[in-house]
A and B are shown apart, each in its own frame.
Chain A
Amino acid sequence: MIGYLKEIFSGTWSLFVGLGITIKYFFKPVVTVQYPREVLPMTPRFRGHIELTRDPETGGDKCIVCGMCQKACPSNCITVVGDKVEGAKKKALSRYILDFTKCSLCGLCVESCPADAITFSKDYNLAGPSREAYIFDLKKRLEERKG
């Protein structure tokens, strides 16, 4: 009989303890980020989709069209197209196609790049109306991205 009452009491007490915890949190400030209103900055190492880096001297890309990124990519989402430039020894990048629908953001391409020509963007607000919207030409993006 004592045990029975004790059990009831301890059980009920545990319930009240639970209520006490939740009401304490009820009065604490919220911890969520109101996402579209507030935007958190991404950490420096955040791996977004890749982006061509700007060469500070020429203002263009640094790509040497070696195709290492293309080879390193596990999902075959990179296509690098280069043109032979008259006079110059190296090829110049004409198009850098990233099929973002296939990309798994693993970062192997950035690691494999011998010229540091690609880097991760910090852009995570990606939305588009169609699949085609995710086939990026990074060269074009670089040109559009001023500064």
Chain B
Amino acid sequence: MDILALQNSLNTYLVLGALLFGFGAYGMMRNRTFIGMLISAELVLGGASINFMAFSRFLAPDPTVGQIFTLFIMGLAAAEAAIALSIIIAVYRNFKSIDTDDVAELEG
């Protein structure tokens, strides 16, 4: 296998996307803070975006679609980050913690 020509194969990107997705999922399960989960969510989105871009580059008849989708995902990610962070701050104001478990306990 030509290790320096990896960038020309679709599979590389698919595996990478899957890896990022997996990291994101793992982080979501493992992390117990809002910010940690937010970071993991960004990883998941990144994995998905790579797939979009890869398919658009190698397979799609119209290669603009994937790019547009990725751009939309970025916009969504930015919006999501903004909203999530304001929620985090609001939660922190009320509960003095950004730990999801703490918040759940206090609610119950």
**Contact, chains A and B (beta carbon distance below 8 A):** no
